[in-house]
């Protein structure tokens, strides 16, 4: 075993975890500030300049708050549920490529034993399928939280969320089938590289797939206008009503991790990922840094989109949510696979030639 490679892998994993936690903390602050702007108020602005220490204050609050355990809960499942949610949220990040491959200086390469560093933890051949497998497991955390709480509102929230996530995973998967047809691969780095000349969103099947994927992503992450799992006016925040202190914080962090994950995936699947447009600095060792910058801008835009929609659109009724998923988006997804296959066979090479 090459211990240098293991050490670098551990450093990348720990570094990524730190970035995730920090990013989620300040995403909550950004959302509260955006909500304040949309609602014509200031938002958090007391903890430090512009409220930048608010996430730290919230973290201290969650860690020091009194732990309350409702009576008659199923204790094992009550504790396991938030752990499932946070583990699935973290694991999904392991396959996301944040940039290209860095060519290391010879002095550094001589010490660690290799000359290239991938900005990704793992890169499996079935990368996007791995992500869907992980996201499908996360529903267990929600349904177990609702069932184990011994609260009818929590149980209703868990059941709603389960039905919602299962319904919208189908169109989510169908939209990715179209991307796989356009790129010829399920590996995220291959999908990214296939868009060096033309982003998939600028093709007809790619645009339809982007629309389906984005709408399904809102439902998959339980965000307004599809937050039927919480629905404060109906279920008193639903499946995590009986959770407080750090256990609630795990659900809270997992939700925001999933939002950033979806923003990364949308950028990779449809908007060229970390590709640098127009061949800027092509061949330069510093191009991966520029790629990270372009990728970050795209991710931040879609992260903002999640906030914008939440504070703009009203909640759907439950029957409207189910009808949209099963009667509209699933047929659209199936039809778009046919459109995508036709595009690849008859027009794919033509368009790729134009943008080389």
* Residue 24 forms part of a structural domain: no
**Cα–Cα dist 294/296, whole Å:** 5
Whether the per-residue pLDDT at 58 is higher than 70: the answer is yes
Per mean pLDDT, which range of 110-114, 120-124, 315-319 is the poorest? 110-114
| Distance in angstroms (rounded) separating the CA atoms of residues 218 and 157 | 17
Give the pLDDT confidence score for residue 51 in this predicted structure. Answer: 82
Long-range CB pairs of 58-66 (<8 Å, 24+ gap) are 58/25, 58/28, 59/25, 59/249, 62/245, 62/246, 62/248, 62/249, 63/245, 63/246, 63/249, 65/244, 65/245, 65/246, 66/244, 66/245
Q: How many helices (H) and strands (E) does the chain have?
A: 14, 2
Residue 76 in any domain: the answer is yes
Tell me the two tokens of residue 266: 């949308």
343: in domain = yes
pTM of the model as a whole: 0.87
More confident residue, 231 or 148: 148
* 123 three-class SS: coil
Q: Which of the 8 DSSP states describes residue 2?
A: -
Alpha-carbon torsion angle 10, 16, 19, 23, nearest 10: -150
Residue 196 CA to residue 113 CA, distance in Å, equals: 31
Confidence of residue 318 (pLDDT cuts 50, 70, 90): confident
Question: What pLDDT, on the 0 to 100 scale, is given for residue 355?
Answer: 47
Helix or strand run (H / E) with residue 117: strand 116-118
Per-residue pLDDT reduced to its tens digit, 175-209? 999 999 888 888 888 898 888 878 899 888 989 99
The pLDDT value given to residue 317: 82
Is 211 contained in some domain? yes
Range of the domain at 185: 69-354
pLDDT at 350 over 70: no
Structure confidence at residue 211 (pLDDT): 92
How does pLDDT run across 93-106, given as a tens digit for each residue? 888 888 777 766 66
- Tell me what the mean pLDDT of segment 260-276 comes to: 89
Task: List beta partners, residue 153.
Answer: none
Domain assignment of residue 209, yes or no: yes
Can you tell me the mean pLDDT for 267-284?
79
Does a structural domain hold residue 32?
no
Number of domains in the chain: 1
Sign of CA dihedral 228, 232, 235, 237: positive
In a domain? residue 224: yes
Backbone angles phi, psi at 118, to 5 degrees: -85, 135
Instruction: Quote the pLDDT of residue 354.
Output: 47
- Is a pLDDT exceeding 80 seen at residue 110? no
Which tens digit of pLDDT belongs to each residue from 78-90? 888 888 988 888 8
pLDDT in tens, 137-175: 888 888 888 888 888 888 888 888 888 878 888 888 899
- pLDDT of 105 reads 62
Name every residue whose Cβ is closer than 8 Å to that of residue 89 and which is 6 or more positions away in sequence.
138, 253, 254, 257, 258, 261
179 vs 40, 102, 243, 311, CA distance in Å?
40, 27, 39, 30
pLDDT at 6: 73
- Per-residue pLDDT, 349: 61
Residue 58 lies in a domain: no
Q: What is the mean pLDDT of residues 67-78?
A: 82
If DSSP states are collapsed to H, E and C, what string results for 3-68?
HHHHHHHHHHHHHHHHHHHHHHHHHHHHHHHHHHHHCCCCCCCCCCHHHCCHHHHHHHHHHHCCCC
């Amino acid at each position: 075993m090459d211990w240098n490679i293991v050490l670098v892998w551990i450093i990348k994993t720990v570094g990524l975890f730190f970035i995730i936690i920090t990013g989620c903390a300040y995403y909550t602050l950004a959302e509260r500030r955006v909500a304040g702007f949309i609602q014509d108020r200031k938002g958090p602005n007391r903890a430090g300049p512009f409220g930048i220490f608010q996430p730290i204050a919230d973290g201290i609050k969650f860690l020091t708050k009194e732990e309350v355990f409702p009576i008659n809960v199923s204790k094992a499942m009550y504790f396991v549920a938030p752990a499932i949610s946070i583990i699935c949220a973290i694991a999904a990040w392991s396959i996301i490529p944040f940039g290209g491959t860095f060519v290391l200086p010879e002095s550094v390469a001589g010490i660690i034993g290799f000359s290239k560093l991938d900005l990704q933890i793992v890169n499996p051949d079935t990368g996007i399928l791995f992500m869907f497998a992980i996201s499908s497991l996360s529903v267990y955390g929600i349904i177990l939280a609702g069932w184990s709480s011994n609260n009818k509102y929590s149980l209703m929230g868990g059941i709603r969320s389960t039905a919602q996530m299962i319904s919208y995973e189908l169109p989510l998967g169908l939209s990715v089938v179209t991307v796989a047809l356009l790129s010829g691969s399920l590996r995220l780095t291959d999908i990214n590289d296939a868009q060096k000349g033309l982003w998939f969103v600028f093709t007809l099947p790619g645009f339809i797939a982007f629309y389906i994927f984005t709408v399904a992503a809102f439902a998959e992450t339980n965000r307004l206008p599809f937050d039927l799992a919480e629905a404060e006016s109906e279920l008193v925040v639903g499946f995590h009503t009986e959770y407080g202190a750090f256990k609630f914080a795990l659900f809270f962090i997992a939700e925001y991790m999933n939002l950033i994950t979806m923003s990364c995936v949308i950028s990779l699947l449809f908007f060229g990922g970390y590709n640098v447009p127009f061949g800027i600095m092509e061949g330069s060792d510093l191009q991966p840094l520029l790629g990270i910058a372009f990728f970050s801008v795209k991710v931040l835009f879609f992260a903002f989109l999640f906030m914008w929609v939440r504070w703009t659109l009203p909640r759907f009724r439950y029957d409207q949510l189910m009808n949209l998923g099963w009667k509209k988006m699933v047929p659209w997804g199936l039809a778009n696979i046919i459109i995508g296959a036709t595009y690849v066979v008859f027009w794919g090479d033509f368009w790729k030639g134009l943008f080389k």
